[in-house]
Amino acid sequence: MPRRRFVRFVLGSLAAIACNGAALAQRIDVVPDHADGQYAVGETITWRLNYNAEESGRPAPAELRYTLKRGGRTEIGSGVIQLDDGAAQWTATLDAPGALLAEFVAPGDDESKRLQAFGGAVVAPGEIGLSAGAPEDFEAFWIEQVERLAAIEPAARLEPKEAKRPGVGYWHVTLSGWGGTKIRGQLARPAAGDKFPAMFIPQWAGVYPLENQWVDDRADEGWLALNILAHDLPIDEPAEFYKQQKQGPLKDYWEIGVESRDESYFLRMYLSCVQAVRYLTSREDWDGETLVVMGASQGGQQTLVTAGLLSLMKEHATAIEAPELSAALALCPAGCDALGPRVGRAPGWPQWYYKTEGRDAATVHRAIRYFDAANFASHITCPLLVGVGHIDRVCPPEGIYAAVNQARGPVEIVPLPNGTHYNVRGSQEPYNRRTHGAWLPALVEGKPAPVGAAAVE
């Protein structure tokens, strides 16, 4: 495994909050003594805990129960912490590379209203390895699928629509996709001008419509932006339509075909990314130079996959000519290190490892390796920006670090020491500042990605 040197940033103190009873308007702030939440093997990790009553006026609890887990899964400690006037310090260590997740809970009879908070830390992040590598025929399998996709022309159909921003052109797009399906999305670009840098935006998990602003805002910045839905669905139906899809044919879509690499729902999803990039870079209004892929969660998963597949396609000179990717940006990417439980590590969403009810577990675990984002990351050569939430329980940090450590190109990690899977109290803002304050402004001007060029204040 390559050793990865990460840029360490001054992030400032952030409140780590997770409270089941939001109506109580109280919280516990958990702050690590290292601003970036990163530590050396064997180094003492100290969390400062402070009770904040906010407007509730409730007194601080006298004690907290704690549970400490390695890799977000394996319990290595539990007990009780006494609070002194609502405050305490608590320490832990880890004697090997990995991540720690500490859960703190105030005692209470009503479980739904218990005060709860989390603290995270990552030890020797550049040395965290994968639970398992790619299957021996991983490359051959995916190159075969891409070559089969080559016979399917995108055959783009564009329908002009009204943009939400002045000076922006906006269209709904339909492409021909894998297995007779359609790829549905939206495209925007500046109304004035002839050639533009291109951005591809895959979507996070769920069943929902697309919003104009997700491409309009990028077009307003100068991008030719293409955003696709993960599903073969119209992109602008009423909410009830998506609710019915979510409860019907797309219920638990991430489990569809989980036991087969040929039937997995993610086979079409991943190949749709290739087809979308194929179309985007065939357009006459692309500048032929700058191409960026960017997404969060499931969109971050597809970002890693797209970047890895494009590199593989270049290596194997596929019939679909792979463009050079300028940069890939992924926030809390899903689908990393799918076999993590084998080494005591919580896997990221969609947690395929556990989707074995009524199925042969060995067959499932064999198939999901072909869709593990970590196995695509090992082929990424372009500059890569990744935001990692240290208390993210949807896409836990240990698997993400393990995946990103496989990348071959320059990597900038933005550690989010109090980052959940969502931007709770601005916990993801350090990543957003690097994305929108540094990387995208440079890339849209045709400049190289500013990997680790500046600290986040």
CA distance 320 to 143: 10
Is 360 a catalytic site residue?
A: no
- Reference 378, options 405, 400, 401, 407; nearest CA is 407
CA distance 369 to 132: 9
In the set 34, 379, 390, 421, the catalytic residue is 421
Q: Which amino acid would we find at residue 331?
A: L
Q: How many helices (H) and strands (E) does the chain have?
A: 10, 17
In the set 264, 272, 297, 427, the catalytic residue is 297
CA distance 420 to 36: 14
Is 220 a catalytic site residue?
A: no
Is 444 exposed, middle or buried, given 0-12, 13-18 or 19+ CB atoms closer than 10 A? middle
Task: Determine the angle formed by the axes of helices 265-280 and 298-315, rounding to 10 degrees.
Answer: 70
Token representation of residue 206: 């769920």
In the set 29, 216, 220, 392, the catalytic residue is 392
Is 392 a catalytic site residue?
A: yes
Which residues are CB-neighbours of 373 under 8 A, at least 6 positions away?
A: 301, 304, 305, 308, 333, 334, 335, 336, 403
End-to-end CA distance of the chain: 32
Are 154 and 275 in contact, with CB atoms under 8 Å apart?
Answer: yes
- CA-CA-CA-CA torsion for 442, 443, 449, 455, nearest 10 degrees? 40
Catalytic site residues?
297, 392, 421
